[in-house]
Structure 1
Amino acid sequence: MPRTGYPRKLLWRWRNNPLRRRHDIVEAWIVLATWTVVAVGGTVTGLVTASTADEMFARQRTERHSVRAELLNDVPRSTGALGGTDRRSASVRWTTPDGSIRTGRTLVSTGLKAGAKVTVWQDGQGQLALAPTGSAEATIESGFLGTTAALALAGLVFGAGAVARWRLDCRRFDEWDREWDLVGPRWGHKTS
């Protein structure tokens, strides 16, 4: 069975070779550093981002709680032809746990009359807030945010590696131009 030289070709920049230039070694280190940062940094960034987002969603679930509020004005039924969610912003009044009465605007279902009871969410300071994300949705969203962060880091690192390699290629082309300027005139004469 013939032996393939693929591992040798793959690692040619690392072998001791009389044709190897300093730029080849630098490029090999750039490629190695790029892949290492993408693999390790991307994993760490993704995990840290997902964990932080999951903690934030869990904190929202503990801080926010539902309160019964009274609708202050009528909310007309939606006549939209697109048929999206039938919710509109409306003024509501609610009582905080400390007994103070507050008013604010929040999204409520359409078609309700003034005085109707609706459920709103408030944060720890008694301000209106969005409903907290459920644990299953939070897990999915945390995973999505972690993956996005890892891919963003990978894109930045690959971009930086590509720019560094492009600069090396420009230097190589300049060196080849200088060398050709020295050797080219000797090849230009006719031998007939």
Structure 2
Amino acid sequence: MGAGPVSGGVLARLRRGVWPGANPLRRRTDLFEPVALLVLSAAAVVVLICSFVASQAVLRDHLGQVNAERAQRHEVTARVLSDVPGQDSAVVRSVAVGWGPEPQRVAVVEVPTGTRLADTLQIWVDPQGRPVPPPRTRSEATQAAGTAGAAVLLGSGLVLGGLFAAARWYVGRRRLAAWEQEWAEIGPRWRHHHP
């Protein structure tokens, strides 16, 4: 026994599922979900645009800092001025290093244990000759931009999801209250017509 032809196809069923149409049993609260879906879709587009704009702004800012640090910092070869006892190269200790012509510049930097007197290492210095961390890289700037974009997406998604869930809860309570009120009016009359 066949079920008969499917009326309207998949798209028509989907449209009827999303938009309630002219059903005489439709309530005002039934319009909430399709309207909320439209609003959420528009908000999702806005969130995507904001996420892209935020990540591009962070990328521009960080790339500017990368370029400034690369212009201001340079690498020098420094000589260790004392032994650093120990065997574990994962442990670091502070030690004096020197570089440049006489009078030699001296600074205290962290080096792995086991470093010996007169070993050399590369350090970064600023225009005044003070040791500084290495300049940031373009990949670090890109990572910061991606993190900012993801944070905007995640935060906005959580906020929109929370608002949608709260609104559905409120509409559900209103719907149940309306049904209870209607049943309170119709129930006694209905019971009198049926023994």
TM (normalized to structure 2)? 0.71
Change in Cα spacing, 1:87 to 1:144, as seen in structure 2 (3 Å) is same
1:26-105 maps to which residues of 2 (within 5 A)?
27-79=36-88, 86=90, 88-94=92-98, 101-105=105-109
- Closer, same or farther: CA 58–72 of 1 in aligned 2, 3 Å: same
One-letter identity of the residue aligned with 1:8: R
Greater relative contact order: 1 or 2 (C-alpha under 8 angstroms, separation 6 or more)?
1
Residues 154 and 9 from structure 1, CA distance in 2 versus in 1: closer, same or farther, beyond 3 angstroms?
Answer: farther
Which is greater in Rg? Answer: 2
Gaps of at least 5 residues in structure 1 are: 80-84
Q: Distance in 2 between matches of 1:175 and 1:164?
A: 16
Summarize the Cα distance change of 1:3–1:29 in structure 2 as closer, same or farther, 3 Å threshold.
Answer: closer
Report the CA distance between 1:161 and its aligned residue.
0.8
TM-score after normalising by structure 1: 0.71
Label 1:25 to 1:3 Cα distance change in 2 as closer, same or farther (>3 A): closer
User: Kindly tell me: are residues 10 and 187 of structure 1, through their superposed partners in 2, closer, same or farther at Cα, counting changes over 3 Å?
Assistant: closer
Seen in structure 2, the aligned counterparts of structure 1 residues 4 and 167 have a Cα distance that, compared at 3 Å, is: same
Is the 1:75–1:88 contact (alpha carbons within 8 Å) kept by the matching residues of 2?
no
Distance 1:37 1:17 in 2: 33
Contiguous gaps of at least 5 residues in structure 2:
1-7
- Which position in structure 1 is the counterpart of 2:3? none
Secondary structure of 2:123's counterpart equals: strand
SS in 2 for 1:5: helix
CA distance in 2, matches of 1:45, 1:16: 43
Partner of 1:82: none
Alignment match, 1:173: 172
Note the alpha carbon deviations across 1:55-94, whole angstroms, 9 max, x for none.
2222222211123333232023524xxxxx6562332243
Of 148-157 and 122-131, deviating more is: 122-131
Contact 2:70 2:135 in 1 (8 A): yes
Any conservation in 2 of the 1:96–1:102 contact (CA below 8 Å)? Answer: no
CA contact (8 A) 2:93 2:113 kept: no
Distance 1:58 1:16, change over 3 A: farther
| Aligned 8 A contact 1:71 1:92 in 2 | yes
**Separation in 1 of the partners of 2:15 and 2:173?**
29
Number of aligned residue pairs: give it: 179
1:9 to 1:58, Cα distance in 2 relative to 1, 3 A = farther
Q: In 1, distance between residues paired with 2:84 and 2:139?
A: 33
- The verdict on how the C-alpha distance between 1:151 and 1:17 changes in structure 2, with shifts beyond 3 A counting, is farther
Q: Which amino acid aligns with 2:146?
A: T
